[in-house]
Structure 1
């Protein structure tokens, strides 16, 4: 499969982006109006599409912020048929090159910290970190997000860092975790306990293997996970920890203390 990335300015193609938003996130009431998107592009925003031959299968959209060297990446999405392909990574590579060519040093965005596939991609493939957690960031949402507060982690991608460069172009070894304590106890995908008294350089926090599936099948358990993770991140991020890695089997965040 050969994916091509193209920058988009054509209003007719932008109409396709709206359809793509609905296909990816399942909420026709929460799409960006084409006119609004065009206005943001005229003011220095980026819209690029991922094409499989002539078919639009994904996109990335971002815009300037109040900080001259920071770009906000508002949406990156790929159709389910093309998840696991190079499409998402190529979109982010394109975004990185585009931003660097315009003087940006940093790209930021939000993501749901309970969705392990996204977390793995953000940390392992891109090299982001986060030290900010925003409860109910967007208020009530629909589509794939129906039924839970829209808590989000605030990802920071340092474009010129060696960490980002190495990860976006080469596979990285898994971190050594022997002896690193885990702050929570999980049994059969249920959060059972949380230790808030750890004073260690590094610690782990486990999340479900597929929280999206839990949200669809067992909303009560999904909300328990939201409350559990919110309490954890609020506590440890406020004490100087930063999320620096995400490992699989089981899904766990690795946090390091900065101060």
Structure 2
């Protein structure tokens, strides 16, 4: 069930923004929302380098991201200087923008081990709270231990549903040609565990 937070208290928004800024500084990146075509094209190239899909089947396209941003959805990148090391894309779900679904997030190999994924998620949380959205959901592969640890322990998201072969065959460098079982995680942005995890 989606929790709608209306008129999120400014202190909580400020707390979330401060936590996001601290995480970005700790990882040595600047995280910002993206809207320009050149930046969105860089996001698509980053995702392609991470997932290594079959030719003609990118995880997202710059055109899709441009349309999503224009409709008020979330696309952000983590930069070390001018180098894009991580990105995250999410879109609103029903009813009436009650929740944000974080569709895809990834960090370049050269950025691993720096906490960039954590910085991106805290930026997304702060952004969502500014939109009066109190919940973000996403799916992840529950068989990848580091993903489970990151999502359920580091971020304090909660498992909601097991989704067998959710995407069908994906044929990329990460998923291969096997089943794409996923766990739907729900992140209650105002809960005590999430606030504690955000630091």
TM category, shorter: 0.7 to 0.9
Secondary structure (helix, strand or coil) at the match of 1:130 reads: strand
- Aligned mates of 1:31, 1:123 — CA distance in 2: 24
Structure possessing the higher relative contact order (Cα contacts under 8 Å, 6 or more residues apart): 2
1:6 deviates by 1.2
| CA contact 1:26–1:142 (8 Å) conserved in 2 | no
1:69 deviates by 2.0
| CA contact 1:3–1:86 (8 Å) conserved in 2 | no
1:147 deviates by 2.8
| Residue 42 of structure 1 pairs with residue 70 of structure 2 | yes
Q: Structure 2 matches for 1:1-259, cutoff 5 A?
A: 2-27=28-53, 28=55, 29-67=57-95, 68-143=97-172, 144-169=174-199
- Aligned mates of 1:110, 1:89 — CA distance in 2: 16
Which residues of structure 2 form unaligned runs of 5+? 1-26
1:30 deviates by 3.1
Could you list the runs of 4 or more consecutive aligned residues of structure 1 that deviate by over 4 angstroms after TM superposition? none
Q: Which has the larger radius of gyration?
A: 1
Which residues of structure 1 form unaligned runs of 5+? 170-259
1:131 deviates by 2.7
Deviation by residue 1:172-214 (Cα, 9 ceiling, x = unmatched): xxxxxxxxxxxxxxxxxxxxxxxxxxxxxxxxxxxxxxxxxxx
State TM-score, norm by structure 2.
Answer: 0.82
- Aligned mates of 1:83, 1:17 — CA distance in 2: 17
